Amino acid sequence: MKHLNSIKRGEVPETRACTMNPDPKTKALVVDDESIIRLSLKKFLDENGFCALTSSTGLDALKKVEEERPAIVILDIQLPDTNGIDLLRTIREIDPSITVIMITGHADVKGAVEAMKMGALDYLEKPIDFNALLNTLSKIKTKVSGDEPSIGGDLITLNPTMKGIYRVAENLAMKSDITILVLGESGTGKNFLCKKLHEISPRKTMPFVEVSCSNIPDHLIESELFGYEKGAFTDAKALKKGLVEVAHGGTIFLDEIGDMPYQMQSKLLTLIEEKKFRRIGGLQYLKADVRIFAATNKNLQQLVHEGKFRLDLYYRLNVATVELLPLRERKEDIPLLANYFLKHYVNKYSTEQKRFTDRVINAFIEYSWPGNIRELKNLVEKLVILSRYSEIDIHDLPATFINKEATHNHTPPEPLIITKEQKLSLRDLEVECIKKALQLAKGNQRKAAEILNITRDTLRYRLKKLGIKASEFRN
């Protein structure tokens, strides 16, 4: 706060222009209607190698952005003549290369998060922490090209939207004790993200305790979270600490919070708002020094409408929200993730080096992945364990993928029609199916195996057993 205390009226002229031909990368614009904040930020920026200008209104700020084209804009979310979010949107339209840092009061955190989703790099809470600002400015100086993969703590993506989402999440993790709600379909990586956020948070050296709200019976969840006193009920023969106490000083992650019993939600609200709880059978409230992360694949608004989720708890959780995209909406990440998991499991199981063929990668990209990243990860692990060759090809994939590939490359075989008058054995049916596949594949055994949804080795075995010669079907 020394910069705030050192500013005196007229000490730092706001109208002073930058020096002659300054480095464009050092130009900064501070936009805030509070003069003490404007001047303190200007002084700080000037002292740290930047050339700072100031504006007290949105209109003046836009004029300076047009004329000066600053590299950085530090922007208050509440201005007298406009909303900071709207001003951010206009600045991004004028010049997308301008880096914007938002200034916000605690009540405006939700707006700041929304601003980051729109492209702001960071947000600063009032009163401003100048060490945090200096750290953000250092990030700007070392920022890599936007074409590079964003790989931070295994958070892998080439998708521009996901890059923004991860940037928002990482910045939220660094901000005091803000509760974070992570939304997304099952398998999109909500648990994994929360663990990574804890690892970069100020509480990283303290416990990370995960609670699955969907796996704990309703009548046990209170005792699991808050513990109980000796004698609280028949089997309470000794005091038991709950998971909230176990997580003291660290983070408690409430997974699938949408499944939390309604009667428990008021007690969770007390924990979040007042940082206190009471053991079952206890008379005194205990302080809870924990940060709360929550996640769900359910629509909480719909649950509120159905009377299954408290509205006040929803509002309390919905301040700092991160929503992960399903894998089908970030297809450019599929090859990156597939090869990442491939390398991981090759090392884990100490197998020979393996690679995916182009046909496999194409099949992965075309697939809808209803199970998202978890489904991809589990499939790659299975392929590493079961594949016998260094090259993983299309015939190694499950039927869902092979049938799709066959549909793209072959005319589907005509269905066999059997009438009740016919006497046809299972062997005859098998012979007929294999011959039809060979006919469509023009004698190519690999293609025939794909059509039949079996491996090439299985087809060879069946050909030999049934006395069928593939060569007879070649043109």
User: Which tokens is 153 given?
Assistant: 């703590």
Strand pairing partners for 157? 150
H-helix or E-strand spanning residue 428: helix 426-440
Strand pairing partners for 54? 30
CA distance 101 to 124: 7
Strand pairing partners for 251? 208, 291
Q: What does the mean pLDDT of the chain come to?
A: 83
Q: DSSP letter at 289?
A: -
User: Which tokens is 448 given?
Assistant: 């025939």
Residue 106's pLDDT band (cuts 50, 70, 90): low
**Mean pLDDT on 372-388:** 91
Indicate if the pLDDT at residue 145 is higher than 50.
no
**Mean pLDDT on 342-351:** 89
H-helix or E-strand spanning residue 322: strand 321-323
Instruction: Considering only residues 267 and 472, tell me which one the structure prediction assigns the higher pLDDT.
Output: 267
CB atoms within 10 A of CB 475: 4
Domain 163-323 fold: Rossmann fold (3.40.50)
**Mean pLDDT on 153-160:** 73
Q: Which residue type, as a one-letter code, is found at position 366?
A: E
Report whether CATH 1.10.10 matches the domain 426-473: yes
Beta carbons within 8 Å of 467's beta carbon, 6+ residues apart = none
pLDDT of residue 460: 81
What is residue 163's three-state secondary structure?
helix
With 0-12 / 13-18 / 19 or more C-beta atoms within 10 angstroms meaning exposed / middle / buried, residue 48 is: middle
Each residue's pLDDT tens digit, 405-423: 444 444 444 454 545 455 5
pLDDT of residue 278: 93
CA distance 390 to 245: 49
Residue where the block lists tokens 């597939």 = 338
Q: Residue ranges of the alpha helices (H) in 294-398?
A: 300-305, 311-317, 334-349, 358-366, 372-386
Strand pairing partners for 30? 54, 74
For residues 277 and 266, the answer to whether their CB atoms sit within 8 Å is no
Report whether CATH 3.40.50.2300 matches the domain 2-143: yes
Q: Residue ranges of the alpha helices (H) in 147-234?
A: 160-174, 190-200, 221-226
Domain 328-409 fold: Helicase, Ruva Protein; domain 3 (1.10.8)
CA distance 326 to 170: 19
Dihedral sign for Cα 155, 160, 162, 164, please. Answer: positive
For residues 62 and 88, the answer to whether their CB atoms sit within 8 Å is no
Q: DSSP letter at 166?
A: H
Q: Do domains 2-143 and 163-323 have the same CATH topology?
A: yes
Each residue's pLDDT tens digit, 304-331: 999 999 999 999 998 889 999 999 999 9
Each residue's pLDDT tens digit, 233-254: 888 889 999 999 999 999 999 9
Residue where the block lists tokens 């990586």 = 189
CA count, 13 A, side-chain hemisphere, 250: 20
pTM: 0.62
Q: DSSP letter at 448?
A: H
pLDDT of residue 9: 42
For residues 123 and 169, the answer to whether their CB atoms sit within 8 Å is no
CA distance 227 to 108: 35
Strand pairing partners for 294? 181, 254
The domain limits of the chain are: 2-143, 163-323, 328-409, 426-473
With 0-12 / 13-18 / 19 or more C-beta atoms within 10 angstroms meaning exposed / middle / buried, residue 412 is: exposed
What is residue 277's three-state secondary structure?
strand
